[in-house]
Structure 1
Amino acid sequence: MSASTGTDDVVQVRPLRVRRVAIPAATVVLIVCVIAALLLRRTSSGLLLTVSDQVSMVGIGAVLAGLILLTVRPRLRADENGVEVRNSILTRQYAWSDVRGISFPEGASCARLELPDDEYEAITAIQSFDGEHAVRAMRDLRALRRRIGQLE
């Protein structure tokens, strides 16, 4: 789900604009690599590409597309038990008792969970360039926190 779904029990958020850019970009990269692998059998300099070179080119395209698609992986899921923050690579879970606050600092690209000892976890699922979607997600998350009694 790409939108913020704020029900009484669960808030789940995924970024919107990154998905709109990254999925087509990954598709284009893969298609370009496949076409290049098929068309570049012989170059003007006399270099002959073998089947293994072509397979490697498609493989490189697949790896690049996969790396691009890592940007659509972020998700925030919060319920009465705590908050799960999934960024591009790592997923971390926090109990509400460990969360000192939820903020979106001015000029920041994404929201963050304030944690003990002046630490924080970036919430890349709530990004500034998502505009109203990010505002709604922050409101839903803060409302959930108030409902379960973990006020800021």
Structure 2
Amino acid sequence: MSTSPASTPSDALAPFRPRRGRVVALGVVWASLLLFGLIAVIMPEQEGRWGVADRIMLFGLGVVIAALAWRYAAIVAIPSRDGLTVRNLVLTRTLAWAEIVGIQFGGGEPWVSLDLVDGDTLAVMAIQKADGEISGREASRLAALIQAFGEFREESSS
């Protein structure tokens, strides 16, 4: 029995997010802000060596580190009835289900890769092997969505 997208449960369309990597990244955000902020405040003021500008730049370095970690914590893949939006570390890409022909989650890759119609592959960093058994279930859920929406595409085009 094939599942059409109209009958797909809403929890099947829940966003994919890394778990362990997200926790670590959020920890780095707060630790960076607290550590660099504390150092900037208690840094001894020495004439000719450390001034207000140095304190601001030191705290600014902490903010930059926190911003990079925050971006890592924001990695997500959001499925919808129309397609999949993948937000990785640097780029965000929205794909229609018709553009996805397969999924890979094996070998030495740390996360899921999607095979696309144009012959390219796209990493989905939101499903990471570091999450253990959860990552396998999430990869299976994504594969089921690709198959279900792919079957619906095939049925509606005939």
Q: TM-score, normalised by structure 2?
A: 0.81
SS of the residue corresponding to residue 49 of structure 1 reads coil
AA partner of residue 60 (structure 2) = G
Aligned equivalents of 2:50 and 2:34: distance in 1?
Answer: 18
Say whether 1:85 aligns with 2:86: yes
Q: Identity of aligned pairs, percent?
A: 30
* Equivalence for 1:32: 35
Residue identity matched to 2:64: V
How far is the alpha carbon of 1:127 from its aligned partner? 0.5
Deviation track 1:13-65 (CA, whole Å, cap 9, x = no partner) reads 0100011111112211221111111122236xx75421222112111111111
Correspondence for 2:13: 10
Whether contact under 8 Å (1:97, 1:150) holds in the other structure is no
Q: Distance in 2 between matches of 1:28 and 1:9?
A: 34
Aligned residues: 144
Structure with the larger helix share: 2
Alpha-carbon distance in structure 2 between the residues aligned to 1:74 and 1:86: 5
2:12 and 2:36 map into 1 onto residues whose CA distance is 45
User: Which contiguous aligned blocks of 4+ residues in structure 1 show a shift greater than 6 angstroms?
Assistant: none
Q: 1:150/1:88 Cα in 2 relative to 1: closer, same or farther (>3 Å)?
A: farther
Alpha-carbon distance between aligned partners in 1 of 2:27 and 2:98, rounded to the nearest angstrom: 40
| Aligned partners of 1:79 and 1:144 also within 8 Å | no
Does 1:56 pair with 2:53? no
Report the Cα distance in structure 2 between the residues aligned to 1:49 and 1:101, rounded to whole angstroms: 56
Paired AA for residue 32 in structure 1:
L
Match of 1:142 in 2: 143
Give the Cα separation in 2 of the matches to 1:128 and 1:9: 20
Gapped regions of structure 1 (runs ≥ 5)? 1-5
Q: Distance in 2 between matches of 1:105 and 1:150?
A: 27
Looking at structure 2, the residues matched to 150 and 128 of structure 1 have their Cα atoms a distance apart, in angstroms, of 29
C-alpha change, 1:8 and 1:72, in structure 2 (3 Å) is: closer
RMSD of aligned residue pairs (Cα, Å): 2.1
How far apart, in 1, do the equivalents of 2:122 and 2:80 lie?
Answer: 17
> Equivalents in 1 of 2:29, 2:12: separation in Å?
34
Q: Secondary structure at the match of 2:146?
A: helix
Q: Distance in 2 between matches of 1:7 and 1:102?
A: 21
Offset at residue 150 of structure 1 (A): 5.9
Matching residue of 2:45: 42
Counterpart residue type for residue 40 of structure 1: M
